[in-house]
Structure 1
Amino acid sequence: MCGRFAVTLPPDAMAQLFAATPANDLPDVPNYNVCPTTQIHVIRAGEGQRHLQSMRWGFLPHWYKTPTDGPLLINARAETIAEKPAFRAACRERRCLIPATGFYEWTKDGEGKRLPWYIHRSDGAPLAFAAVWQDWARGEEAFRTCAIVTTGANDRMRQIHHRMPVILEPRDWALWLGEEGKGAATLMRAANEDVLEFYRVDPKVNSNRARGEDLIAPI
């Protein structure tokens, strides 16, 4: 799965990297502890161009009566996304990208304590997670929401966790966004083992209130 990540790229750099037009209400960066239900940076295609905008991380199916009416859907499994009622329409029609600098995963020591790891691209480039989005509204409450697509981990990542986000290379962004016709399903696979590297970080990131650049410092 992917339940926490970091993003440090300024909005203008994100807009340039993804050739997207930025909105005016983007979340503050850097953020070294991006948590579910907060607003995050998302790239979607529409109206003949790409848009960099803010969305709520936590997908809300249209039948939810309130944002807490069902499970918190921060991830969508690649293996079942096309069949699950919550995601199947979004998988066909509303795919997007979520930029990140790195993400966190956890193991446990012999006493059951959670040990955080920070995972990032080995070449230092930003990550682009495959994701899907959905508009949700009830009365005066309205959100544009999203979920990160995950798949089975590659052999190296499996040392930490059995799942990982689907990470897309720049050559695949247009296909995932629906700009190059059909075939996006072929992209929902684990990244090659040499794409990512990881190291232990301080357990203070276990708190969703933790802030600061030192959260991604190796220990």
Structure 2
Amino acid sequence: MCGRYSLSRDPEDLAREFEVTQVDVREKLADYNVAPTKQVAVVVDRPPRRGDDAKPATTAKDARTGKGGEGDDAGLERHLRTVRWGLIPFWAKDPKIGNRLINARLETAAEKPAFRKAFASRRCLVPADGYYEWYGEKKGHKQPFFIHRSDGGVLAMAGLYEIWRDPDKGEDDPDRFVWTCTVLTTTAEDELGRIHDRMPLLVEPAEYSTWLDPRRDDADQLRSVLVPAAPGRLDAYPVSTEVNNVRNNGPQLLDPLPAEEAGDVADPR
């Protein structure tokens, strides 16, 4: 699973990285201990705004009747915005369900009721410096590891997003639509699987447009662009247990443990 990660990039850096055309971010993004229910940055492709920009995205069926053929970016705008981590399905009666839906398994996401609609037409990228996983058997004594791209680049984690209408808020309330997301995961292989048996799926730059295009709804095609990181693409090293507490934050959380403190945890293999 992916239950904690880091993102230190500025919105401007992410806009360049993901070729964003509109930055809708007002919050400070730098967060070295991103946890569920926090506001997180995502990249989405959306049809041009028509009226209320918070209304749900055009469906794949409707979008195909407009300008631009399948695979054509015409008529779409790429946004960087913030959403709450923990997906609330559009049909949910209680928003607390989102607290449990921080991850979606790729194996079932296209069919599972909580994620089916989002998988079909509301997909996103979740940028990260890297993510944390814990290794060990004894609860409370597991060793946290930071897993990141070996070249220091940004991870583009595959995600889904939803727009939930809060029935307790009026039509004129700007907060009546709640944007939320989840991170897609798959079986971890190679060395990373020894730390944790699940890992987030990544999207390569050449596939950003395919994954984000809400007009594409072929589940097999969409699954084909999601791949685990290639062997050697990701590195992992032990970090301080300070990251265990979500109240702790700052770049020091990414510092590797000194060799004398790492001991036997430096290599879980």
> Residue 17 in 1 paired to residue 52 in 2?
no
What per-residue deviation string (whole Å, max 9, x for no partner) do you get for residues 108-158 of structure 1? 266851210000001111000000010012222431010000000021211
SS in 2 for 1:184: helix
Name the residue aligned to 2:154.
126
**Structure 2 unmatched ranges of 5 or more:** 48-75, 170-175, 258-269
Q: For 2:6, give the aligned amino acid.
A: A
Q: Secondary structure at the match of 2:32?
A: strand
1:118, 1:83 → 2: CA distance? 31
More strand by share: 1
Q: For the residues of structure 1 that align with 2:253 and 2:127, how far apart are their CA atoms?
A: 18
Gapped regions of structure 1 (runs ≥ 5): none
For the structure 1 residues 115 and 72, does the alpha-carbon distance in structure 2 shift closer, same or farther, using more than 3 Å as the test?
same
Correspondence 1:178 to 2:213:
yes
State which of 89, 95, 101 in structure 2 corresponds to 1:67: 95
Aligned to 1:113, what secondary structure does the other structure show? Answer: coil
Which residue of 206, 218, 228 maps to 1:190? 228
SS at match of 2:100: coil
**Alpha-carbon spacing, 1:65–1:180, altered in 2? closer, same or farther (3 Å):** closer
Measure the CA separation in 2 of the matches of 1:211 and 1:21: 30
Q: Does the 8 Å contact 1:154/1:192 carry over to 2?
A: no
- Residues 67 and 212 of structure 1: CA distance in aligned 2, closer, same or farther (over 3 Å): same
Give yes or no for contact 1:154–1:191 (8 Å, CA) kept in 2.
no
CA distance in 1: counterparts of 2:180 and 2:138, whole angstroms: 38
Report the equivalent of 2:195.
160
Alignment check: 8 A CA contact 2:150 2:232 kept: yes
Give the distance between the partners of 2:7 and 2:254, measured in 1 at CA: 11
Preserved CA contact (<8 Å) 1:31 1:211: yes
- Tell me the secondary structure at the aligned position of residue 242 of structure 2: helix
User: C-alpha separation between the residues in 2 aligned to 1:33 and 1:22?
Assistant: 26
Deviation at residue 178 of structure 1 after TM alignment: 1.9
Q: Does structure 2 conserve the Cα–Cα contact (< 8 Å) formed by 1:98 and 1:128?
A: yes
Give the equivalent residue in structure 2 for 1:149: 184
Q: Structure 1 stretches (4+) deviating beyond 4 angstroms? A: 109-112, 179-182
Distance in 1 (CA, whole Å) between partners of 2:18 and 2:186 is 23
CA displacement at 1:185 relative to structure 2: 1.3
Which of the pair is proportionally richer in helix?
2
C-alpha displacement at 1:13, in angstroms?
0.8
| Structure 1 match to 2:126 | 98
CA contact (8 A) 1:174 1:180 kept: no
CA distance in 2, matches of 1:217, 1:36: 22
